[in-house]
A and B are shown apart, each in its own frame.
Chain A
């Protein structure tokens, strides 16, 4: 037996579903996830009883989710509500399919952080550094951005390009939460949360849910829509400073590079083949870090790379075409993977990237992952 299983083009996404996004105190994680599941089932036309793999993320109890959907799968996985879990979960599902542990996997994510007033800091995320007042992932991204600015001369006006481009995409996305276009000056005039980061560098907090249904590339041909295959995947963790949560002194450069190289090599492609990039964007600086780690620009030059609207549809590298976490919805990477699928299918209307045959997902986080989606 070979010491690795080549995952290239073995798994495919056949159905996707996203809910409305906002504040929905009248329902809960299970209700929203069920709504996304029903949409994804309708998207591919699968008989839901065929689903024999269940992956849940940020959903309290996998078995209750199964009970609600009437599923008794052969394979179950549950992941915590950390943003970095989406890439990990999709790759795990691909492995389960490649090894026959499941034939059809439903991946479900739900978030009720808005209606339940989650803060992402303080008491609910207590850590060793609380006595000094360090808390919240935004603060550690602010730390990294200040350092990046000091080392490379990156400016907040360059950082603003990220928020402005993603908001532009959200303005083209009828389901996005924040649709009013913004300018670089709007970014520069928005209030500080943890300086040097401002309100417009922060992701949204909203309720909603996402579902993806995956199967093997062969079985994928039997469903309603053209399959989108996973052409390459890569991953690398960085846990050395995990007690300072959501932080890496080197901007996750090396782990992102490795995750990207692995994915490009598996897919047999290079950067110039990528039509659009979906990047985990809990805070705007990580978008710059991901561009450098993946090698779309040399180290330290991401600020210049993003200038002049380079990340907009029609620009040098369209990114987060649904508006991302900054302006579409805080679905912790899951909605970005769905957007990658929709771009490859050509379903994105006014925000559609031309010839989107290869779309990449990346997360520059303590668990770096990259996934390359291709036409099946």
Chain B
């Protein structure tokens, strides 16, 4: 597990607003994530977890500092290139599932490839569907699926383009404990068996414990960065 970093941030600062009312969400964060790592970012509400994730994922631009994803410095990219980078190198899992209600589960899973105009690799798709366990639900619309099933579709969608890294923001926040366990398990599997890199924001200790590493933020600074039992095991 000593691979080269796939995502790294150096002296990341993100400030919102100007002057008196300015809020510093990130106050100088330097961190790196290796390929095949399953990392959890923890911290109290308002500590800057989401902001960090957004900056790492090219959804937000830091006030200063640099982010490198898969060897690409994000600061130099315009919106068009940044969008293409997100499309090709990054997978997203959101707390609110964010599936398109008008598409079937299968279409939702394939959406990133469809947008890129790429043909799906059928074998990979089958394997993915088998892993997330949605075989008989593929032609259902999201409204016909349970929350857990929807989030599993979202996981498959994040993995389908074999991104360099998958970001998950509170992926279990809207799920009951059984469904949460399933999704966390799924992410674990994707790291262990599919070699995926996963960076997950959560404030649930149980969820974090599934990860290899826990980075803890407070007031926009990393206050702790440690390996877990899972990583040792």
Whether chains A and B associate is no
